[in-house]
Structure 1
Amino acid sequence: MKKSGFALLIITMVVFASVLLPQSGFSGVDVTIGINVPLPVFVFSAPPAVVFIPGTYVYAVSDVDIDIVFYQGYWYRPHRDYWYRSTSYNGPWRHLDQKRVP
Structure 2
Amino acid sequence: MRRPILFLCLLMLPLGAPRAEVSVGVGVTVPGVSIGIRVPAYPRLVRVPGYPVYYDPQIDVNLFFYDGLYWVFADDDWYASDWYDGPWRRVARLDVPVYLLRVPVRYYRRPPPYFRGWVVDGPPRWDERWGRDWTDRRSGWAIRTRPLPPPAPLPYYQRHYSGEYYPGGPEERTVIRREHYRYQPREPVVREHYPQPPGQRGPQDRGRSERR
TM-score by length of 2: 0.30
> CA RMSD of the aligned region, Å?
1.3
Q: Does 1:60 align with 2:44?
A: no
Q: In the aligned structure 2, how far is the partner of 1:40 from the partner of 1:72?
A: 24
More strand by share: 1
Runs ≥4 residues deviating over 4 A: none
More helix by share: 2
1:97 to 79, 92, 96: 92
Question: Could you list the runs of 5+ residues in structure 2 that have no partner in the other structure?
Answer: 1-31, 98-212
Q: Secondary structure of 1:83's match?
A: strand
Q: Does 1:42 align with 2:38?
A: yes
Q: Secondary structure of 1:70's match?
A: strand
Q: Secondary structure of 2:80's match?
A: strand
Q: In the aligned structure 2, how far is the partner of 1:87 from the partner of 1:95?
A: 13
Amino acid at match of 1:92: P
Q: In the aligned structure 2, how far is the partner of 1:62 from the partner of 1:40?
A: 20
> Between the two proteins, what is the percent identity of the paired residues?
35
Q: Does 1:70 align with 2:65?
A: yes
Name the larger-Rg structure. Answer: 1
